[in-house]
Structure 1
């Protein structure tokens, strides 16, 4: 078991992909080697139908985010499938952004990546999730792991101790550029247009992304949206989109994927899952 966990950790050094991005893509349905991708009953992403959701039980707490204003160094990486932001785990523990979930457990931010409208000619791209069949220009995923020094990432994945927060984004017209959530990433995005390019940032904050999540969220049990489609991931899909500028969408579109395909997985069946409305 320890060998398997060690391999999982090696595969997740730079992203939440458990299979290297060069060995799969979103356009070809070549995920059949991964049982959960084909036969899983709790897969992500999904379309959330609001009329089928239920309130969070009173014994549970509304999820809250803390230390979101903290700034620190990150690495911005073109994985060949997405833009991944790493480095949060090296931030000082006491000021590190974290999620206190509905059960009162603490989860530390460790990674972030993006999905976006890669091309108007590619059907179904843009955000991965949707609410009442409404998709958005893009979607930011923030990954949190359980606050336990003795639990590595592989063990967190195996034991259901990873939380994924989804924040939609749309192109908006704003007079104040500081209202665009990706302004801090502008320059870094120009430096990672090719596969495996990396750029270092000295100061980065998730506050512009998370400060509007008070608009509510949906909570459900799902999976990773990339092979091996590991289930047991708790998803928090926020309701209110954040704003990006048109030029920022163009920056994203100039980032080359391994095969220039979309970077969003087709939506999966909800089946009999419960979706909480917070």
Structure 2
């Protein structure tokens, strides 16, 4: 019964569109930095007033036997986009996640450096967010941390065509194998949170994988140099939220 109560507390109710467009003048530096997002537009007020904001520091997690991740992958055409805030890879509609007896479809995945979420106070040099959506528009984000290490062969496929200019889109010659990008073990933490960019909409299911991937120093630096700055939102207060492990 306790587990059922916890799971119900993590369920979402409704969620509008993915995120604000980049013409809303938010960013990661100066007067458009994360600490000012809530004041940049009335639409961004949740960034300042929300009580279930992401990212978070995952420290004290409630141990339970939650369901394993049910992921399926299919290859297909992909596009890599520099939207000025991150590097994003759009995918076809055949990659799915089953969670809470619902089907979520992968829309895109994108990157942050350094990581947005932390585990036991540790920040990682790189983090990927895989954004899934169900038929009602509700979102689940699967987050993967990266340690600095050997060259990541799947990232290399995308990085050789990474757009250096904002608002640029390129069709990938070689699609990234998403399954190969993820670790073999898919143990995870789970909590209820928000988008980590304006409008910081809440009601997002968050899955943070416990195992990490690897990316080389050169791959991380290439991303950072194209962004020209860090693109991580600082961790937000839990405000009593429960994280399950």
User: TM-score normalised to the size of structure 2?
Assistant: 0.83
State the shift of 1:203 in Å: 3.5
Task: Please give the residue correspondences for 1:1-278 in structure 2 after superposition, counting only pairs within 5 Å.
Answer: 16-20=18-22, 23-27=25-29, 28=33, 29-31=35-37, 32=39, 33=41, 34-49=44-59, 52-56=60-64, 61-67=67-73, 70-89=74-93, 96-101=94-99, 103-116=100-113, 126-146=114-134, 148=135, 151=136, 156=137, 161-173=138-150, 180-189=153-162, 192-204=163-175, 205-214=177-186, 216-256=187-227, 260-277=228-245
- The Cα of 1:40 is off from its aligned counterpart by 0.6
Offset of residue 61 of structure 1? 2.2
Q: 1:21 to 1:180 in 2, by over 3 A?
A: farther
> How far, CA to CA, are the matches of 1:227 and 1:221 in structure 2?
17
Deviation at 1:21, TM superposition (A): 5.6
> Displacement of 1:139 after TM fit?
0.3
CA RMSD of aligned residues (A): 2.0
Secondary structure at the residue paired with 2:71? Answer: strand
Q: How far did 1:246 drift?
A: 2.2
Residue 182 of structure 1: how far off its partner (Å): 0.9
User: What CA distance in whole angstroms lies between the structure 1 residues aligned with 2:118 and 2:88?
Assistant: 21
Matches of 1:239 and 1:132 in 2, distance apart? 11
2: CA distance, partners of 1:43 / 1:135: 18
Q: 1:253 & 1:263 partners in 2: Cα distance?
A: 8
Aligned partners of 2:50 and 2:181: how far apart in 1? 31
Q: Which residue of 1 aligns with 2:6?
A: none
Q: CA deviation at 1:276?
A: 0.7
Contact 2:53–2:195 (CA under 8 A) maintained in structure 1? yes
Q: Are the counterparts in 2 of residues 71 and 203 from structure 1 also a CA contact under 8 Å?
A: no
CA drift of 1:87 comes to 3.3
Q: Does structure 2 conserve the Cα–Cα contact (< 8 Å) formed by 1:72 and 1:202?
A: no
With normalisation by structure 1, the TM-score equals: 0.74
- Shift in CA distance, 21/245, structure 1 to aligned 2, threshold 3 Å: farther
SS at match of 1:170: strand
User: How far did 1:213 drift?
Assistant: 4.2
Shift of 1:268: 0.3
CA separation of 1:180/1:239 partners in 2, compared to 1, >3 Å: closer, same or farther?
farther
Q: How many residues align?
A: 222
Alignment partner of 1:234: what SS? strand
Structure 1 residue 22: Cα displacement: 5.5
Distance 1:35 1:48 in 2: 25
Secondary structure of 1:255's aligned partner? helix
How far did residue 19 of structure 1 move? Answer: 4.0
Per-residue deviation at 1:210?
A: 2.2
Give the aligned partner of residue 12 of structure 1: none
